[in-house]
């Protein structure tokens, strides 16, 4: 945990790259790749040319703020270093009296109308304008006129406050909205000194990545409403961590004050292979729902011995849980999709040792048909930058793995073609060639996809784990296409946060449910796993009827903690350490950004205590030791340690794949009626529903139909419908959406309490559903 | 004092040339027909180059050179854009050309388009010139009907058409890259250069942008020959130029003169009728409001690019604003500062913040609340604004005020001490009455 | 104005522009003809017709002086206040019109007939002080007496078929 390094905003370059040229900088001969902007080249050589509008990630420089003026031999006057590429033999000075005067001049003009309310400004202390004024600016202001006034602050959205008086018109936020996120809901309005950032009059700033403008703002014009007046930068400690809300694994920075997590921001040093510094609004604003005092947190251990439930202290509850497991005849262990590598590894040790070889499984997709795809050359997200074709096959990354949307849009801006194949309308359709397939018929798109791949030199195929697991014929065809192309690579759009980590530990997705359904399990230990809210929930509910004892290790209250004989409160992902493996196979460290919640303990610690109570020797006294043990015994993690993972992680080794099965044969959906298409809304899952900051944006469960389909089924005008699959049934609000194709029932998953997961089988085999109007 | 009417062709004809037949009878379209029949595109380009014609919008860059910067064998479409966003205070020459000689502009565009290989031209006309846009629109329809625009014009194999695009009130759109932004449907804010429009202009394609007067000069050059045209005027300032004279003169209006052969004194006192009786010449902004001001001692400067540069100013757009000794130089400077603050696009810091600061300092002075240190502050600000921005607007805001302070420092000191009450304006009724 | 009406106007121009975003100014100018100013609904209709976001359209519209985002009078009187017109009495003309109309510069008369607007150079410096009614040809030199006659004439005149600003 450290003080936060100032965000530098310069692009990282390699001065020793093969195409580097030498040029003269303040009298020193230095090198940088030809074409590098002078600001970035100078930064790499330890010289700060001050900037405001320049931000390498947003796009081509615009040269607006005029802060980076430098002297280049042969050019008349001063020139903007942000837009001047390095050339061989160039002679550059950043320290002449003229340059100093220009820097001083721009700062004096920027400050002329900038309010001096730094003492009450959230940006104070980490403000580039403040820092650069200190270093390059005027000692005094000669501006005696009254400053420009705007009513302040303005609520730009429920999460962003806008103070227009502080804005220095660097255009970063607007360019982010227009060019990077392309929501285009933030624009520059008016002209000249009156100009300002604005949304459409009367409308909030809406998008999925809006919070990034807070990180981008070089002054206190755009600030976070949840963080407003909460802490000063010098009061907080920062921990580089990783987001656990989806499998992308965006690198985050957690700010802690007095033991509480105050905010989540993008890293000052972005991870170019993953998120490049961008976060989605869920990743940025959902943390409030995991605070120690958040209503949904499991705050005390719960014991249910016979009836009524009672709260317990953790130690007594661990003893009770150990006794339950010890006395069980047929215990089993279920590991949830966001359990860390350490927790899952300790669960494995527990199952194999003290629990006498108890069956252990992860809650997730078996995906035997995916092995051939996973075995092909993989790509990191950052490599999309160099792709000439990006194919998205199935899924809806904009909602499920949000930052992928930004990386795909960037690839498009850099000239890559984009193709989206699948049954769902997605946000990426706007920048893509769309191969719309009938629900359950992804294979239809393969011929066209093959032609596009053939025409590309370096294509990357993003494929959706759940969709392709449901359609083994499409998975096999796609694997053949990618394998046949020498330059093609693949990247899995995974369903589960740490699915890749659990697979790499060798944890299967099958075995426990099947045993439980056959009454071969009498005690089930659930580690961050709630099978009652996961796909397959209906089957799990039947299975749990036959399980006498459930022990749940969980961060939040949920159906499984309410069903458990012993519920053990675990630290949240913001309080705990551990390793998560992203969908691209990158192992990255969670670091705590909040004090441990009272009454809870780290998941690994609870598992170690259970093992100890069950007679195992104490083997690991920290999560670090647990990870090292995993690394020494699991091939995919060989050679990795907390130290080697550093702050930006390492790609793990290949995961031993089970022999593929079921490949090639089209999977006939089970049941009758419309094909079920599972939908995920970005603000529709439990993490969004728990977060007060996202209250305005959260979306609920629903089933959506094309209007013609609704007409055929006689559902026009129905508000709620009963949806039934061979697996289970639930009642959902009905929505009509002309953008949806016919032939499918589009069911939004994830909303707490909706029961929609009960419609799906645990292996995500395709199903059909019938719909009838509900009372 | 030769007034030579070439570009203001309707004056030679003695009537507006708004009907195609009238224009043809006045010799119109002969140049285009001959060029398309007898000359390769490169030869037309060479003629433009050889004529030495310099851009009449304000920058004075040689048109032929600018056109030759367009890549010859680029696979991209090429565009010709006519800058008809005339908004420079004191300038109204393009207005007269478009209103009276619309076909001359269209013919010039067809010739320039042919020279660079463009199939489409755009006329970006300022929103306020609605009447003039209607005249042009009618001319475009007539020209299409007459076979001078559209497919295979003037019976050649060259196709060229023109789109009239109307601005909506923003001076900055006269800056060529801001104009392109506006034409592309964006806010009219200037672009970073390079790339220059010749390489990546409209829709990132090679684009030639020229002012109305520049393009309207082209038919004469092709008709009479580049050498004939180049022989007019001085070596570096060939041809004729239309000067718009306004302010405290008795006959404000447009005067087309051979460059270098007329002095400022002749333009003001002979052509434009001089001043009211009893008034003395005080100051003149000879090239629109963005150029350094001249004083009485500069009256004998010949009107050409180099001579005006030597006198410390620019020929600019040729909008010559004259002020006699009834006017206050600080008030005049304030009025210009107000203009540039209003028209600053807001992109560059020094211009966005600096133009308003200049205006407020000058306003305080005029209101009698100036401080002596404001003079030093003004001088410091000139250096912090001028030469520090993307486009020339801020330089144009600084130049007239900076030069005024240099030439009329005593008056600035007096205004700081006493303020400056609003003087009596020159009123038409009084002029007519002989006052 | 509806998006459909705007489309009818701009659709024929589409082939003339390689990037359809260029249609935004023609669309805004056309939408303004109906009332003489643009409401938020108009901006949304323009956004729909040009396939842009309302925020973007508003950002472009607010850049230009002659697109009005607040109600203005039937006749917008633009009085040039730039230097050449100042030398010829535009300040006195503005004072006179303020007095006659009972509104400050930028104001609209209560009867909704007139908006008095300070304009930057109208390109009619030879007619200084120049005045422009809506987007008609510039008038001038405008003495206070002529300004009175102009107001008289406009009070009697029927509303224009379309508000070209």
pLDDT in tens, A19-49: 999 999 999 999 999 999 999 999 999 999 9
- Asked if the model's pLDDT at residue A669 lies above 90, the reply is no
Instruction: Say what the pLDDT of residue B432 is.
Output: 56
Asked if B323 has any chain C CB less than 8 Å from its own CB, the reply is yes
DSSP summary character for residue A670: B
Instruction: Say what the pLDDT of residue C80 is.
Output: 98
Contact B424, B415 (CB under 8 A): no
Closest C-alpha among B135, B73, B60 to residue B104: B135
Average pLDDT, chain C: 97
pLDDT above 90 coverage of chain A, percent: 91
Of A457-471, A745-759, B14-28, B419-433, the poorest mean pLDDT is in: B419-433
- Residues B107-136 have a mean pLDDT of 97
Contact A374, A432 (CB under 8 A): no
CA distance A112 to A118: 14
Q: In angstroms, what separates the C-alpha of A246 from chain B's closest C-alpha?
A: 37
Report the residue from C13, C50, C64 with minimal CB separation from B169: C64
Chain A CA closest to residue B377: A142
- Cα angle A628, A630, A633; round to 5: 110
- Asked if the model's pLDDT at residue A2 lies above 60, the reply is no
Closest C-alpha among A625, A596, A752 to residue A689: A752
Chain C residues lying within 8 Å of A187, measured CB to CB: 53, 55-56, 58-59
- Residues B368-393 have a mean pLDDT of 97
Instruction: Say what the pLDDT of residue B215 is.
Output: 98
Contact A172, A216 (CB under 8 A): yes
- Asked if the model's pLDDT at residue C19 lies above 80, the reply is yes
- Asked if the model's pLDDT at residue A344 lies above 50, the reply is yes
Whether B87 and C123 lie within 8 Å, measured CB to CB = yes
Q: Which chains touch A (3 or more CB pairs under 8 A)?
A: B, C
Give the CA distances from residue A13 to residues A38, A48, A575, A726, in Å, rounded to whole numbers and listed in that order.
11, 14, 35, 56
- Residues B415-422 have a mean pLDDT of 96
Report the residue from A188, A202, A203 with minimal CB separation from C59: A188
Q: Would you place residue A775 in the very low, low, confident or very high pLDDT band (cuts 50, 70, 90)?
A: confident
pLDDT tens, position by position, C63-103:
999 999 999 999 999 999 999 999 999 999 999 999 999 99
Q: Would you place residue B435 in the very low, low, confident or very high pLDDT band (cuts 50, 70, 90)?
A: very low
**Which residue has tokens 């329809």?**
B141
pTM of the model: 0.96
Asked if A85 has any chain B CB less than 8 Å from its own CB, the reply is no
- Asked if the model's pLDDT at residue B433 lies above 60, the reply is no
Whether C55 and A198 lie within 8 Å, measured CB to CB = yes
Chain A residues lying within 8 Å of C68, measured CB to CB: none
Instruction: Say what the pLDDT of residue A668 is.
Output: 83
- Residues A578-594 have a mean pLDDT of 97
Whether A110 and B357 lie within 8 Å, measured CB to CB = no
| φ/ψ (deg, to 5) at A320 | -65, -40
Of B1-15, B202-216, B301-315, B338-352, the poorest mean pLDDT is in: B1-15
Chain A CA closest to residue B361: A145
CA distance A137 to A102: 10
Report the residue from C59, C66, C87 with minimal CB separation from B168: C66
Instruction: Say what the pLDDT of residue A619 is.
Output: 82
Beta strand extents in A655-752 (DSSP E only): 674-680, 703-705, 720-724, 729-736, 744-749
Instruction: Say what the pLDDT of residue A9 is.
Output: 86
Helix (H) or strand (E) holding A688: helix A686-690
Instruction: Say what the pLDDT of residue B2 is.
Output: 67
Q: Would you place residue B434 in the very low, low, confident or very high pLDDT band (cuts 50, 70, 90)?
A: very low
**C-alpha dihedral sign at A681, A687, A690, A696:** negative
Helix (H) or strand (E) holding A491: strand A489-493
Alpha carbon distance, N-terminus to C-terminus of chain B: 28
Report the residue from C60, C87, C120 with minimal CB separation from B339: C120
Whether A185 and C59 lie within 8 Å, measured CB to CB = no
Average pLDDT, chain A: 94
- Residues A433-450 have a mean pLDDT of 95
Instruction: Say what the pLDDT of residue A231 is.
Output: 85
Comparing B298 with A6, the larger pLDDT belongs to B298
Q: Characterize the bridge pairing of strands B207-211 and B79-84.
A: parallel
- Residues B7-28 have a mean pLDDT of 97
Contact B292, B401 (CB under 8 A): no
Instruction: Say what the pLDDT of residue A244 is.
Output: 97
Instruction: Say what the pLDDT of residue A402 is.
Output: 98
Q: Which two tokens stand for residue A679?
A: 């939908």
Instruction: Say what the pLDDT of residue B167 is.
Output: 98
Instruction: Say what the pLDDT of residue A151 is.
Output: 85
Report the residue from A178, A183, A191 with minimal CB separation from C63: A191
Whether C65 and B247 lie within 8 Å, measured CB to CB = no
Contact A634, A346 (CB under 8 A): no
Chain B residues lying within 8 Å of C143, measured CB to CB: 427-429
- Residues A74-92 have a mean pLDDT of 95
Asked if A185 has any chain C CB less than 8 Å from its own CB, the reply is yes
Inter-helix orientation angle B102-116/B30-38, to 10°:
20
C56 burial (CB, 10 Å; 0-12 / 13-18 / 19+) is buried
Buried b or exposed e, range A324-337, using 16+ CB within 10 angstroms: bbeebebbbbbbbb
Q: Would you place residue A465 in the very low, low, confident or very high pLDDT band (cuts 50, 70, 90)?
A: very high
Asked if C43 has any chain A CB less than 8 Å from its own CB, the reply is yes
Closest C-alpha among A606, A243, A179 to residue A413: A179
- Residues B300-310 have a mean pLDDT of 98
DSSP summary character for residue A596: P
Q: Would you place residue A229 in the very low, low, confident or very high pLDDT band (cuts 50, 70, 90)?
A: confident
Q: In angstroms, what separates the C-alpha of C44 from chain B's closest C-alpha?
A: 16
- Asked if the model's pLDDT at residue A663 lies above 70, the reply is no
Q: Would you place residue A326 in the very low, low, confident or very high pLDDT band (cuts 50, 70, 90)?
A: very high
Whether B92 and C126 lie within 8 Å, measured CB to CB = yes
Asked if C143 has any chain B CB less than 8 Å from its own CB, the reply is yes
Contact B376, A100 (CB under 8 A): no
pLDDT tens, position by position, B57-97:
999 999 999 999 999 887 889 999 999 999 999 999 999 99
Instruction: Say what the pLDDT of residue A308 is.
Output: 81
Residues 6+ apart with CB under 8 A from A545: none
- Residues B211-223 have a mean pLDDT of 98
- Asked if the model's pLDDT at residue A637 lies above 60, the reply is yes
């Amino acid at each position: 945990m450290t003080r936060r390094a100032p965000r530098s905003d310069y692009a990282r370059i390699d001065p020793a790259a093969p195409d580097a040229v030498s040029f003269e900088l303040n009298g020193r001969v230095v090198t940088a790749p030809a074409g590098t902007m002078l600001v970035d080249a100078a930064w790499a050589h330890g010289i700060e040319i001050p900037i405001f509008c320049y931000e390498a990630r947003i796009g081509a420089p615009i040269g607006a703020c005029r802060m980076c003026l430098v002297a280049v031999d042969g050019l008349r006057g001063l020139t903007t270093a942000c837009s001047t590429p390095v050339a061989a033999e160039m002679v550059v000075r950043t320290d002449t009296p003229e340059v100093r005067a220009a820097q001083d001049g721009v700062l004096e003009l920027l400050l002329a109308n900038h309010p001096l309310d730094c003492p009450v400004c959230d940006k104070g202390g980490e403000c580039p304008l403040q820092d650069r004024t200190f270093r390059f600016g005027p000692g005094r202001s000669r501006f005696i006129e009254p400053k420009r006034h705007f009513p302040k602050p303005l609520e730009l959205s429920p999460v962003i406050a806008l103070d227009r008086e502080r804005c220095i018109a660097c255009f970063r936020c607007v360019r982010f909205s227009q060019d990077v996120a392309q929501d285009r809901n933030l624009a520059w309005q008016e002209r000249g000194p009156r100009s300002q950032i604005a949304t459409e009059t009367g409308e909030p700033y809406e998008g999925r990545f809006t919070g990034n403008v807070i990180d981008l703002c070089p002054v206190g014009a755009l600030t976070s409403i949840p963080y407003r007046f909460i802490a000063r930068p010098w009061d907080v400690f920062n921990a580089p961590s990783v987001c656990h809300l989806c499998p992308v694994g965006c690198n985050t920075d957690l700010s802690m004050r007095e033991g509480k997590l105050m905010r989540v921001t993008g890293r000052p040093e972005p991870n170019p292979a993953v998120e490049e510094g961008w976060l989605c609004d869920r990743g940025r604003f959902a943390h409030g729902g995991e605070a120690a005092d958040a209503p949904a947190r499991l705050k005390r251990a719960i014991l249910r011995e016979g009836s009524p439930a009672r709260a317990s202290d953790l130690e007594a509850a661990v003893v009770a849980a150990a006794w339950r497991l010890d006395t069980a005849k047929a215990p089993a262990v279920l590991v949830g999709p966001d359990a860390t590598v350490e927790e899952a590894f300790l669960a494995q040790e527990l199952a194999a040792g003290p629990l006498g070889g108890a069956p252990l499984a992860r809650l997730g997709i078996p995906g035997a048909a995916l092995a051939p795809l996973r075995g092909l050359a993989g790509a990191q997200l950052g490599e999309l930058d160099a792709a000439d074709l990006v194919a998205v096959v199935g899924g809806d990354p904009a909602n499920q793995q949000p930052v992928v949307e930004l990386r795909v849009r960037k690839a498009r801006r850099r000239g890559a073609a984009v193709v989206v194949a699948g049954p769902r309308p997605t946000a990426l359709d706007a920048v893509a060639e769309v191969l719309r397939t009938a629900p359950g018929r992804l294979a239809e798109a393969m011929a066209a996809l093959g032609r596009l791949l053939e025409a590309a030199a370096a294509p990357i195929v993003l494929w959706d784990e759940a969709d392709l697991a449901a359609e083994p014929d499409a998975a096999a065809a796609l694997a053949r296409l990618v394998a046949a192309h020498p330059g093609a690579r693949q990247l899995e759009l995974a369903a589960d946060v740490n699915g890749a980590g659990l697979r790499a530990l060798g944890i299967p997705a099958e075995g426990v449910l099947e045993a439980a359904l056959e009454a071969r399990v009498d005690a089930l230990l659930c580690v961050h796993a709630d099978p009652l809210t996961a796909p397959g929930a209906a089957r799990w509910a039947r299975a749990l009827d036959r399980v006498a004892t459930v022990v749940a290790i969980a961060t939040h209250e949920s159906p499984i903690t309410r069903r458990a004989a012993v519920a053990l409160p675990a630290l949240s992902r913001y309080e705990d350490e551990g390793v998560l493996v992203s969908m691209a196979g990158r192992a990255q460290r969670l670091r705590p950004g909040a004090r441990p919640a009272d009454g809870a303990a780290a998941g690994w610690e609870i598992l170690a205590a259970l093992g100890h109570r069950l007679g195992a020797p104490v083997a690991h006294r920290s999560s670090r030791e647990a990870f090292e043990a995993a690394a020494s015994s699991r091939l995919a993690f060989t050679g990795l340690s907390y130290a080697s993972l550093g702050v930006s992680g390492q790609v793990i080794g290949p995961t031993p794949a089970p022999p593929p099965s079921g490949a090639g044969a089209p999977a006939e959906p089970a049941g009758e009626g419309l094909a079920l298409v599972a939908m995920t809304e970005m603000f529709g899952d439990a993490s969004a529903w728990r977060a007060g900051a996202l209250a305005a944006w959260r979306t609920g469960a629903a089933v959506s139909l094309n209007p013609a389909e609704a007409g055929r089924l006689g559902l026009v005008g129905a508000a709620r419908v009963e949806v039934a699959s061979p697996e289970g049934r639930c009642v959902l609000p009905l929505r009509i959406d002309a953008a949806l194709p016919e032939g499918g029932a589009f069911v939004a998953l994830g909303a707490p309490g909706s029961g929609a997961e009960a419609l799906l089988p645990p292996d995500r085999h395709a199903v059909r559903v019938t719909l009838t109007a509900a009372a | 004092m030769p007034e030579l009417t070439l570009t203001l062709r309707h004056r030679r004809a003695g009537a507006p040339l708004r009907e195609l037949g009238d224009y043809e009878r006045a010799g119109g379209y002969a140049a285009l027909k001959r060029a398309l029949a007898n000359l390769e595109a490169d030869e037309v380009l060479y003629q433009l180059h050889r004529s030495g014609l310099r851009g009449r919008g304000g920058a004075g860059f040689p048109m032929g050179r600018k056109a030759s910067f367009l890549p010859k064998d680029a696979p991209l479409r090429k565009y010709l854009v006519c800058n008809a966003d005339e908004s420079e205070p004191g300038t109204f020459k393009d207005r007269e050309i478009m209103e009276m000689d619309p076909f001359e502009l269209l013919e010039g565009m067809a010739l320039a388009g042919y020279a660079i290989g463009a199939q489409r031209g755009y006329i970006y006309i300022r929103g306020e010139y609605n009447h003039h846009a209607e005249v042009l629109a009618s001319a475009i329809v007539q020209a299409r009907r007459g076979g001078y625009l559209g497919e295979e014009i003037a019976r050649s194999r060259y196709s060229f058409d023109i789109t009239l695009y109307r601005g909506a009130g923003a001076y900055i759109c006269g800056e060529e890259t801001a104009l392109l932004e506006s034409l592309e449907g964006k806010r009219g804010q200037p672009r970073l250069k390079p790339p220059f429009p010749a390489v990546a202009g409209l829709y990132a394609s090679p684009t030639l942008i020229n002012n109305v007067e520049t393009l309207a000069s082209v038919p004469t050059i092709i008709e009479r020959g580049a050498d004939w045209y180049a022989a007019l005027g001085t070596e570096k300032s060939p041809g004729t130029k239309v000067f718009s004279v306004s302010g405290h003169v008795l006959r404000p209006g447009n005067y087309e003169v051979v460059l270098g052969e007329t002095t400022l004194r002749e333009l003001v006192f002979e052509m434009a009728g001089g001043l009211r009786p009893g008034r003395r010449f005080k100051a003149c902004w000879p090239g629109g409001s963005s150029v350094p001001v001249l004083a009485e001692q500069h009256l004998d400067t010949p009107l050409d690019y180099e001579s005006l540069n030597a006198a410390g100013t620019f020929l600019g757009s040729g909008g010559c604003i004259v002020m006699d000794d009834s006017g206050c130089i600080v008030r005049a400077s304030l009025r210009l500062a107000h203009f540039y603050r209003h028209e600053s696009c807001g992109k560059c810091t020094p211009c966005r913040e600096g133009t308003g600061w200049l205006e407020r300092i000058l306003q305080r002075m005029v209101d009698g609340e100036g401080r002596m240190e404001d003079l030093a502050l003004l001088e410091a600000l000139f250096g912090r604004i001028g030469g520090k921005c993307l486009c020339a607007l801020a330089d144009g805001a600084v130049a007239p005020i900076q030069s005024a302070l240099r030439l009329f420092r005593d008056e600035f000191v007096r205004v700081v001490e006493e303020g400056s009450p609003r003087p009596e304006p020159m009123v038409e009724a009084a002029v007519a009455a002989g006052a | 104005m509806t998006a459909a009406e705007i489309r009818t106007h701009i659709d024929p121009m589409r082939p003339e522009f390689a990037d359809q975003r260029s249609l935004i100014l023609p669309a805004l100018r056309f939408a303004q003809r109906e009332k003489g100013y643009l409401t938020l609904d108009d901006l949304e209709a323009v956004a729909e017709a040009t396939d842009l976001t309302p925020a973007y359209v508003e950002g472009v519209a607010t850049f230009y002086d002659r697109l009005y985002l607040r109600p203005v009078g039937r006749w917008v009187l633009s009085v040039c206040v730039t230097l050449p017109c100042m030398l010829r009495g535009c300040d006195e003309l503005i004072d006179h019109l303020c007095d006659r109309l009972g509104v400050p510069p930028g104001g609209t008369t209560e009867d909704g007939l007139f908006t008095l607007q300070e304009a930057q150079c109208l390109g009619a410096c030879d007619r200084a002080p120049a005045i422009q009614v809506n987007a008609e040809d510039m008038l001038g030199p405008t003495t206070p007496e002529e300004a009175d006659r102009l107001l008289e004439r406009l009070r009697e005149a029927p509303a224009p078929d379309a508000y070209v600003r």
